[in-house]
Amino acid sequence: MRIIDLAFKDIVQILRDWKSALFLVIMPVIFTLFFGFVFNPSTSGANESDPRLPIGLVNLDPGSSISGSLVSLLEKSDVIRPIILGAEDADQISEMVAEGELAAAIQVPDGYGVATRLDRPASLQVIADQNSPAGRTAVTAVETITNRLLGAVESAHISVEAYRDRVGFTDEAARQSYFDEAFQEAVSAWSKPSLTVLTQKATGEATSGDTDMEINGFTQSSAGMIVQFAIFGLITSAMILVLERKTGVLQRLLTTPIKRTEVIGGHILGMFLVVFAQEVILVTLGQFLFGVNYLRQPLAVLLMMVALALWAVSLGLLIGVIAKKEDQVIVLCLISMFVFAAMGGAWFPLEVSGKAFSAIGHLLPSAWAMDGFQNIVQRGLDFNSVLLPAAVVLAYALAFFGLALWRFKFER
């Protein structure tokens, strides 16, 4: 109860200041609108209306129906956009991936379709930078599509065997024709998965909703401002800690039955509730005002919100511990906000910044937080896609929290 009482005291103290509404709600909304219009294809003048990750595709087995079906499945992907290249480009695709022109590249070898049909070893050549979020996402999408193709081949084989045992084939040509028909039906089934349709109806989403969501410039700005202002909004919380230490309030608390751990826990809980409430407001506005589809994976978004709030709280506690004056709190919060937001991809997608900048950005927890949110609202991935980003952000939170406790002092 003492921890809750201290947290409640901090929250009341924050809400009494009119500037809290400015930091927690008004400024994030203004910045979300600004960056949303900047990244909106309809207002930015961008020629590219397809938000999917570009991947190069060299098909050296064009005469095979199986290889052709693979190309068709790749083209229907919601995550990747294949760019058909000629055989003469096969030697250049590695360089195109390295330079960031393509998120990944695929080469379908000659004889891939025949080998796959006969259950012989056959593999695609996939080139990608596994250190890049775009590269990892593209590889995951290719693996998913390849598994669908192999599943369709296996389904066709099972159907052929069942028909042969029940009716039989007059000759090899009839068997081959039956296999091709069964295979195409299995491939077509992936284009209209009944489970996906039922899920969309249960959440009240239109079939075209995801497409509208992906081309919405606010998918970048909404998530980016959630990450940015989770840091900036800590100014008031960290200020309370500095003032209490400066005025001797923390020392006087030790003369009461309250424990040191309860004092720290109360401030942490207060900070967490402030940041999480801000996230809830911004996610709600993003969902219903800016058209960002956070509710397509609510549990994944909730996990990222909790992880981000815990990291921001640990950073806020560290700032409150290091700063000795109120103006130092403001300076440290501003520096943290600019560094983590700019380098972490909150202002612009790291995918467009180049390989080196993206690698440097992912040394920061803010970049992983952006990956987690955008895996859901922009790349259309599932719950598992946020596990790694959330784990990295929580690891940073634990490290910052440990450092803050090490430096924590109750005196001035």
Which of 209-223, 233-247, 376-390 has the least mean pLDDT? 209-223
Residue with tokens 């409150």: 320
- What would the pLDDT profile of 250-308 be if each residue is shown by its tens digit? 666 666 666 666 767 777 788 888 889 889 988 998 888 888 889 989 999 999 999 99
Q: How far is residue 47's CA from residue 263's CA, in Å, rounded to a whole number?
A: 55
- 11-36 CB burial, b ≥16 within 10 A, e <16: bebbeeeeebeebbbebbbebbbebb
- All CATH 3.40.1710 domain ranges of the chain, comma separated, are 53-206
53-206 CATH: 3.40.1710
Question: Is the pLDDT score of 207 beyond 60?
Answer: no
Q: How far is residue 410's CA from residue 237's CA, in Å, rounded to a whole number?
A: 16
Q: Who has greater pLDDT, 273 or 326?
A: 273
Question: Is the pLDDT score of 212 beyond 50?
Answer: no
Which of 37-41, 90-94, 160-164, 208-212 has the least mean pLDDT? 208-212
Q: How far is residue 36's CA from residue 34's CA, in Å, rounded to a whole number?
A: 5
